[in-house]
Amino acid sequence: MELQNKIAIVTGGASGLGKAIVQMFLENGSKVVVLDIDQQALNTLEESQNILKLVCDITKEEEIAKAIEQTKEKFTKIDILVNNAGILYSEPLISIMSEQKRHSKEKWQKVIDINLTAPFVLGSYVAEQMVTSRTKGVIVNISSISAKGNAGQSAYSAAKAGLESMTKVWAKELGGFGVRCVAIAPGFMDTESTHIAVNEKILEEMKKQTPIKRLGKAEHIASAVKFAIENDHISGKTLEIDGGLVL
């Protein structure tokens, strides 16, 4: 698939990894629909006929449905979905030093809703559009190496593992319609959300354990997304972009 004149939806595309992915699409001649809950962050994106910026809470199905309709009204079709939006959250299952002790069920549900349920709902809406319009599209799910099981991340690891399994299921179900599905699993990234969610001492330790001794950049993930879309023989796989780190 060539990116020129393709229509791509990117969730969480107003900052961090998502913003780098949006920029990659625009630089390669794609038209991009950016879904983000943060209006101020959306305002920082360039104004262009090739970009549609929509405030959208992806945990609400009615807002997803509205965004899909707005996308069709402006660009008529959808070629690519990048399920990028998510939250990185760390909390041990049991913490004897805290008042609550056990992992918060509320936080568990929030992480699952944003990182797993929302991509499922978006994927179902976009796949429906691709199949009914006979569009040979691509769905890219942004996972994490934490899907392998990272200590202190029960909810996040479970959500990302589920996302990778869902990627395989969709690849099998949609392949006959010409729709591919690929997951990208970043390692520890030098982004604002990582520095907020992960202790700096842990990040320094991760850099030491990584063969190339550095954190990844948002541009590395954007490049991986481009590769996954352009290579027509990749489907159902997870591409780990982690600098050689193995959890």
Q: Which residues are catalytic?
A: 156
Contact 122, 224 (CB under 8 A): no
Contact 154, 108 (CB under 8 A): yes
Q: What angle do CA 42, 115, 76 make, to 5 degrees?
A: 55
Q: Is 233 exposed, middle or buried (0-12, 13-18, 19+ CB in 10 A)?
A: exposed
Report the alpha-carbon distance of residue 227 to residue 194 in Å, rounded: 24
Of 241, 237, 206, 238, residue with least CA distance to 221 = 241
